[in-house]
Amino acid sequence: MARRIILCDGAELARLWSRIGAGEDEELTWIPREDESRARPPGFRALQGGLAAEAVAKLDPKEGDGFALVSEDGPFVRAAVAAVSEAAPGSPILVLSDRLEPEALPDHPCLRRAGLRSLIRDDVDAEFDLLWNLRMVEDIRELVSSRSKLGILLQPDPDPDGIASGMALRALLGRKSSTCPLISFGEVKRPENLAMVQALGLEVRTVDSAGLDEFDGLALLDVQPSVFGEDMPARVRSVDVVIDHHPERPGYDTEIRDVRPAYGATATILTGYVRAAGMEVRPKLATALIYGIKSDTQLLGRETSRHDINAFAYLHQWHSPALLRRIERPALPLAGLQAMGRALAATEVHKGIHLLVLGRVREDVIPQVADLGLQAEGAEWSVAAGIVNSDLVFSVRNVGYVRAAGEVTRAVVEGLGVGGGHRSMAKGIIPLKAFRQAYGRADRKTIGAALRKAFAKAIATA
């Protein structure tokens, strides 16, 4: 078995090492410093003859063994590297030092430096983060334990981040949907969000402000009461719990507040809770939280913090790839695929814009075609449009380094309909009636020409 040969500079560092606990494959040696007692640290043997190649050779290093040099002293490390290089040429060396600058290290083809204390320090910091999370969980549990019906209020048209966070809070409280339902002032509308709710077997109840009366407790997730503005129901002005990652917005009271604007998703905060509470993470919950983080950070791209990446990595071991695929790639109706085929038959990229007009389709086909359209050679923008009920609906995607999709889409729909979105994704809706008034007719050709012109103009206008 390959060994790790540890060379500690003095008793203090050697004792620290033995307290942390030595691995079975570790050969522990130390070199006493002049100014300290020669009492042998537990498990260590002195390197006989001091820091010389002959002394290292007595350890009988074999090919495959690695060395760790533990020291804060430049001359010690340089002498040790020289001795190891001579006695065991080619052996990799790990220098554990918190104070030595990288420049103080000798040249060596296979050497890494890390801080011994800072390695422990990082773990201590991470543990304290978890401890604060556990404090939050315990405070929330205590506060709501006496509430017979706790509503978990999400934003109108709840998104995956909010829905996943709601699931996690309910699981943390050990409650069922009857005493702790997910509620919202608006229904889940976006097709991809509906796909998530269906795949997870969840229900998000739509309530109006009078409907809030049945709840003796309210927790707001991924939203703060002030978002409702003028329409804020009085009941929401003072709530029990607010957990959110949007910037802090004053104008409400809450018993417990956990707002972390540096985080990319509320699901990341809840993942910290779940982890701190030592709760078993079922595949459904892990998948929901992963999807919440992915969708709010656009696949760990936009506005992602190290917390989001840590949470993602933590959840990954328990999530269900099959379930995640079902949510992310919901089944396309055959009629939708046929409509896509007809649109693709006449495909062209003009001024970087790839536009596909599908005709009448199920709404969830449109964003998926827009995703695909961005892969066309030369496309910086992808627009997929279709007719859903009495509206022209279109999804917009871009490569990310161009103007914000949300801004461009708002400019396109101005005066005709509604639209908006993020940097690289957006959606617009124009009632067919308004479209006909503006362009005379609403056949595929007219829609294609009108959107192409409107997008070209909006993208060109800085």
> Following DSSP, what letter does each residue of 3-57 receive, concatenated?
-EEEEEESHHHHHHHHHH---TTEEEEEE--TTS--PPPTT-EE-TTSSSHHHHH
Residue closer to Mn ion by CB (options 308, 391) is: 308
Closest-CB residue for Mn ion? 161
Question: In angstroms, what is the minimal distance from the CB of 245 to Mn ion?
Answer: 6
CA distance 118 to 159: 39
Q: Does 258 bind Mn ion (CB under 5 A)?
A: no
Residue closer to Mn ion by CB (options 136, 270) is: 270
- Residues in contact with Mn ion, total (CB under 5 A)? 4
Q: Which of 151, 133, 142 is closest to 219 using CA atoms?
A: 151
Q: Does 65 bind Mn ion (CB under 5 A)?
A: no
Question: In angstroms, what is the minimal distance from the CB of 159 to Mn ion?
Answer: 6
Q: Interface with Mn ion by CB under 5 A: which range of 63-71, 259-267, 346-354, 399-407? A: 259-267
- Residue 438 backbone dihedrals phi, psi, to 5 degrees: -80, -35
Residue closer to Mn ion by CB (options 170, 245) is: 245
DSSP state of 360: E
Question: In angstroms, what is the minimal distance from the CB of 265 to Mn ion?
Answer: 5
Question: In angstroms, what is the minimal distance from the CB of 327 to Mn ion?
Answer: 16
b/e code 118-155 from CB counts within 10 Å (16+ = b): eeeeeeeeeeeebeebbebbeebeebbeebeebbbbbb
Please name the residue that has the structure tokens 């060994």.
3
Q: Does 244 bind Mn ion (CB under 5 A)?
A: no
Judged on CB neighbours under 10 Å (0-12, 13-18, 19+), 352 is middle
DSSP state of 453: H
Q: Which residues in the 221-240 window bind Mn ion by CB under 5 A?
A: 222
Question: In angstroms, what is the minimal distance from the CB of 405 to Mn ion?
Answer: 18
Residue closer to Mn ion by CB (options 158, 367) is: 158
Summarize the chain as % helix, strand, coil (round to 5): 45, 20, 35
Residue closer to Mn ion by CB (options 244, 380) is: 244
Among 161, 258, 380, 391, binds Mn ion (CB under 5 A): 161
Q: Does 296 bind Mn ion (CB under 5 A)?
A: yes
Question: In angstroms, what is the minimal distance from the CB of 289 to Mn ion?
Answer: 12
Q: Interface with Mn ion by CB under 5 A: which range of 97-105, 160-168, 304-312, 322-330? A: 160-168
Other C-beta atoms within 10 Å of 216: how many?
A: 13
Q: Which residues bind Mn ion (CB under 5 A)?
A: 161, 222, 266, 296
